[in-house]
Structure 1
Amino acid sequence: MKKGKKQKLNTCGHAHRTFIVSILLFNTVACTRSF
């Protein structure tokens, strides 16, 4: 039970990190397009 909980937490953290990276990429592209 403890192991399963930790694995779920790691997956959640990975998804959150990917979400942040995608937003940063989107912002970079938006800035490049505006120039």
Structure 2
Amino acid sequence: MINNQKANKARLRRCWREVNDALAELANLHTWAGGS
């Protein structure tokens, strides 16, 4: 049970990292498209 919870936390952390990376990429694209 505890191991399963640990695995779920690790999976969630990985998901959040991917989401944050995608958001950063979108922000960069938006800045590039709208900048100077």
Contiguous gaps of at least 5 residues in structure 2: none
Q: How many residues align?
A: 33
Runs of 4+ in structure 1 displaced over 3 angstroms? none
Alpha-carbon RMSD across the aligned residues, in angstroms, is 0.9
TM-score (norm 1): 0.82
Aligned-pair identity in percent equals: 18
Structure 1, unaligned runs of 5 or more:
none
TM-score (norm 2): 0.80
